[in-house]
Amino acid sequence: MLNDEGKVLLIRHRNGTWVFPKGHVEPGESKADTAVREVEEEAGVQSVAIDPRQTWQTEYVNPRREGRRITWYLLRTNAREAILREAIFPHGGFYPPEEALTMLAFDEDRGTLKQVLRAARRAGLLPDAATGETA
């Protein structure tokens, strides 16, 4: 999720980890619709998927030892701040890409963010310097 300033939306779980909003697909809902809905529910931010055909995936095992596969989308918003609605996520906001990369708790999320930032730059949504990559 990027806003029109090129900043990345992150939320902090009550356990202290910084993550992207995500959630479960509801019956009759597409994965892209789920992404948009979950961002709104967890961060109070309305967004649109730039190209629902372009996705990234991560896989992990959660603390309950359940395997999870997450499909990510490049979402865009004109919001400048998050309006957190769930007690499980007490903090969040929009952060410059370089800062977001240092805040994210999981290597998989950092790798996904780097890929999404490259795609956003190719789509003209970010200047070259806003990729979180160094030369």
Specify the pLDDT at position 63. 81
Residue 131 confidence (pLDDT) above 70: no
| Dist. CA 62–CA 73, nearest whole Å | 21
Say what the pLDDT of residue 79 is.
97
Q: pTM for this structure?
A: 0.89
pLDDT 10s digits, 19-62: 999 999 999 999 999 999 999 999 999 999 999 999 999 998 87
To which residue do tokens 């509801």 refer? 26
Per-residue pLDDT at 60 = 86
Quote the tokens at residue 126: 């970010």
Q: Which two tokens stand for residue 50?
A: 């730039």
Q: Domains in the chain, start-ordered, CATH in brackets?
A: 2-125 (3.90.79.10)
Closest CA to 74 of 103, 97, 91: 97
CA distance 56 to 34: 15
| Res 105 pLDDT > 60 | yes
The CA angle 58-20-63, to the nearest 5 degrees, is: 65
Is it the case that residue 129 has pLDDT exceeding 60? no
The arithmetic mean of pLDDT across residues 5-24, rounded, is 96
Give the pLDDT score at 128: 59
pLDDT value at residue 121: 92
- Higher pLDDT residue, 131 or 111? 111
Give the C-alpha separation, 118 to 133, whole Å. Answer: 9
The pLDDT tens digits of the residues spanning 78-102 come to 999 999 989 999 999 999 999 999 9
Report the pLDDT value the prediction gives residue 130, as an integer from 0 to 100.
52
